[in-house]
Amino acid sequence: MKTAFYFLILCVCSLLACSTKNNELNEINQPQENVLTGLFSTPPEELLPADYIHWVENPEHGLVCSNTIDNYTYTAFYKPLDYVVLKDLDSASANTMNFKKQLGEYSGLQYYTLTIERSDDGTEELLRYDLNSTEDYFARIEYYSFKVQHDVILLEGEDTLTCRMSHFERAYGLQSKAKIILGFEKRKGDVSKIAETTNSDKTLVFYDRIFGAGIVKLRIDKSILNSIPKLKLG
């Protein structure tokens, strides 16, 4: 009687084990939900101005990349030339004539915005953080206003591109971040006014002299650059 009972228990345990294993195999074989659908969805070929701006600014599309080092987050936002021109114009009234006119003023460079912020959500103005004197505060303002462009380069393939322009946007104590607009020279031989350079990754390299992070690298893959839709003007 005991033998039959133990045999019954053994059969039940075997059935449960098989059921569990089958469930595990089913879970493995089930298609997994892609949480990065914005990165892997097929981008549109053309977009009207307002939609184009929205697409470029959406971080899911990969033109924004970040790197956190210690207590600071460094973010590079690559801005296609068409986007830069649209932001300077009223996108609602942008047309071929005024767009091409404005394009000539920006076509000599390629543009980024570099943002530095504390990763602990501090509310103190970034440039006032961890200072010993007021003189140090004004020295930081001077650095980001006039000298920071000498500590940043752009790598494309085998080319090292220098920063030709920088503009520091002051926060005036309203937020714990610093934002610098950067303009880099184009690669040798790239004389196109509209087409973006898309045959190499773009890596922004920043040497942080102020907050101690050292060399910070922020890379945007060429596959992302090639996915940027064309601008369609009305």
The encoded tokens of residue 10 equal: 């053994």
Whether residue 83 is predicted with pLDDT greater than 50 in this model: the reply is: yes
pLDDT of residue 196: 54
Q: What is the 3-state composition of the chain as percent helix, strand, coil, each rounded to the nearest 5? A: 40, 30, 30
Q: Who contacts 213 (Cβ-Cβ below 8 Å, separation ≥6)?
A: 69, 70, 72, 74
Closest among 135, 122, 113, 117 to 181, alpha carbons compared: 113
Q: Residue 3 domain-assigned?
A: no
Is 80 a domain residue? Answer: yes
Answer whether residue 31 is part of any domain: no
Lowest mean pLDDT among 59-68, 73-82, 86-95: 86-95
Q: Is the pLDDT of residue 190 over 80?
A: no
Q: Is residue 131 part of a domain?
A: yes
Predicted confidence (pLDDT) per residue in 208-227, tens digit: 999 999 999 999 999 999 99
Q: Residue 212 is part of which domain span?
A: 44-229
Q: For residue 34, is pLDDT > 70?
A: no
Q: Which of 53-62, 131-140, 187-196 has the lowest mean pLDDT?
A: 187-196
Q: Which residues pair with 216 in a beta bridge?
A: 206
Token digits for 101?
Answer: 């006119």
7 found inside a domain: no
Cα angle for residues 217, 130, 141 (degrees, 5° grid): 70
Judged by average pLDDT, the poorest of 127-136, 183-192, 200-209 is 183-192
Give the span between the Cα atoms of 62 and 39, in whole angstroms.
7
User: Quick check: is 112 in a domain?
Assistant: yes
Torsion angles phi and psi, residue 176, rounded to 5: -90, 65
Say if residue 163's pLDDT is above 80.
Answer: yes
Q: Is residue 35 part of a domain?
A: no
Higher pLDDT, 119 or 32: 119
Q: Residue range 12-34: average pLDDT? A: 39
The predicted-structure confidence for 124-150, as pLDDT tens digits, reads as follows 788 988 888 999 999 999 999 999 999
Report yes or no on 119 lying in a domain. Answer: yes
pLDDT (tens digit, 9 = 90+) per residue, 85-120?
999 887 666 778 888 888 888 988 999 999 999 887
pLDDT of 61 higher than 80: yes
What is the domain count for the chain? 1
Q: Report the sign of the C-alpha dihedral through residues 227, 203, 170, 131, in that order.
A: positive
